[in-house]
Amino acid sequence: MARKSIQDLGQLQKTVMEILWNLGEATAQQVLEVLQRSHAKKLAYTTVLSVLQKLEKNGWLKHRLEGRSYLYRAVQSRSDEGRRSLKSFMERVFGGDPLLLFQHLVQHRRFTRAELDELQQMIRKRRKELDHE
């Protein structure tokens, strides 16, 4: 069975994934400390540990033993997961056609002049890369 999309995770699970992507790897206690600084609701250590274990069971995390603690880390980088999610979204909504996705963005999003300039620079850069292939 394929791993769920990041959008299918619960809010706490997404937050834990963000923490691990930011830290690289962390113990349950370290994740809890970050959550306590940013979360209005106080969470129990066992809640965080349960979330980490569930994420690991579902293929999002791996752990390694260091001393008496497990250090958890994401199986995929944030960038890789973003690519996977975008590809899945593009398949579902635009039949896998990136040009349709891009056309939709250009037509329905109010880009600033600076954003349009940046897009233009990305396209120029990609064209140069293609010219050198």
Q: What is the pLDDT of residue 14?
A: 94
Q: What is the pLDDT of residue 95?
A: 95
Buried b / exposed e along 63-99 (16+ C-beta atoms within 10 A): beeeeeebbbebebeeeebeeeeeeeebeeeeeeeee
pLDDT band at 117 (very low <50, low <70, confident <90, very high): very high
Q: How far is CA 108 from CA 27, 47, 49, 100, 105, in A?
A: 43, 41, 42, 12, 5
Q: What is the per-residue pLDDT across 55-111, written as a single tens digit (0 to 9) for each?
A: 999 999 999 999 999 999 999 999 999 998 899 899 999 999 999 999 999 899 899
Can you give the pTM of this predicted structure?
A: 0.78
Q: What is the pLDDT of residue 2?
A: 59
Q: Where are the domains of the chain?
A: 6-74, 97-133
**Structural domain 6-74, CATH architecture:** Orthogonal Bundle (1.10)
